[in-house]
Structure 1
Amino acid sequence: MTYPKIPSASEISSQFCASIGAAQRKETPYRHWLFKEIFPEPLCTGILTLPIAPPALGRTDGTRNSYNDQRSFITPTLREKFPTCAVLAEALQTPDVARLMAKTCAIAVDGSYLRIEYIQDLDGAWLEPHHDIPEKLFSMVIYLFIGPDAKDWGTDIYDSDKRWVGQSAGDFNSGVIFVPGENTWHGFEPRSIIGVRRLMEINYVAPNWRDRAQLCFPDQPIRTG
């Protein structure tokens, strides 16, 4: 028996599109969209049971680039090895999803590439206030952490002066989307993590993205048609 049962790519893309279509748009401190129930529950189970150990980093320096070699991206290798990774990447590569993201975020996505990172933060991990680079056409974070303290593990949000203004709720299978810009400051203030803070980051990235090893389909650009 294969466990867990993996939903089809069409089931995943259908629920994904329904969630994004119902997302709540906010304008402050910068434009972003809040969504919930983005993945079918069996897919969440499949992600959480992937045999990928969290990197034991200890106290980090507030960036992710400093440990690039220990990060987990859904690459052709992971797609071949793990059916959960394969079907998720297939679903988010579809023209239906591409058209919806282009319309929702008012961005041109044809010719971009799908990038998915599976993040597992342990105690000591934190992120300094930062804004994403423009080569990320949109940034999406999906929260998949559980436990009694998980309510405190949402993303910290800052205004254009990098003053803390709030925190995402961090509800399971919910998340946020924004289009990177100079004012899109966000991070994760140092705080206790008892357990594993699991989340997915999803981007379409520009054709000039340097690290091709991070891409789901390095030879297959996103197409809306």
Structure 2
Amino acid sequence: MICISTDSSSSFFLMSRVWIYLLSALCALLSPGIHQVEGMEVFTSSELEAVNGTNVLLKCTFKSTYPLSEDRISVSWSFKPLGQTVEESFFHYQQKSFPPTSGLFKDHAVWSGNVIKRDASITLQNVQFTFNGTFSCQVRNPPDIQGFAGEIILKVVSKVTISEIAILAIAVGGSIGLILLILIIYVFVRLYIRNKKDMSLEMDEQRSKDGVL
């Protein structure tokens, strides 16, 4: 019984030492990768609205922790139609643009960015209702890689809907109009009171003259 207990204890310590060595080796392997790989930050609007038949800019900017170089930076745009789960790449940029030569976005997608200025935008010309869906912008600047793509939900409509900016403009315009109306009423009331006072003084003076006579 004593021998069995000793063997079990020795096996336990041996396994513990093996796990410690394995964990140390794993950390040593992973540590260089953690220092070398940085996250690319990509910024896009969450939603856009465009009128059918017009042009719309899909704005995409990025931030990299490594120096920017034309020959290293690559940009990819992909599209996922509304209600679908499959995403398809349709536009690529590296040193020059590679617009689609076939498919849904042929003659519709043009490069509008400048990677040295951290701009990876494209413009969709003559947008169609079939463009409703999610557009993803992915940027790479090795060894800086991107963890998540910037996503824009595009809504193609037949006419412009009232946006928050339009509502704000209407509210501000209405407030300014109300203030002007109040000022005009105030001026007219002041003039009316002044004229009435002047007329009253004239009548008093006339009565005084009549009394003297």
Q: Provide TM-score, normalisation by structure 1.
A: 0.24
Structure with the higher fraction of residues in helix conformation: 2
Which structure has more relative contact order (CA 8 Å, sep 6+)? It is: 1
Instruction: Pick the structure with more strand per residue.
Output: 2
Work out which of the two has the higher radius of gyration on C-alpha atoms and give 1 or 2. 2
TM normalised by structure 2 equals 0.25
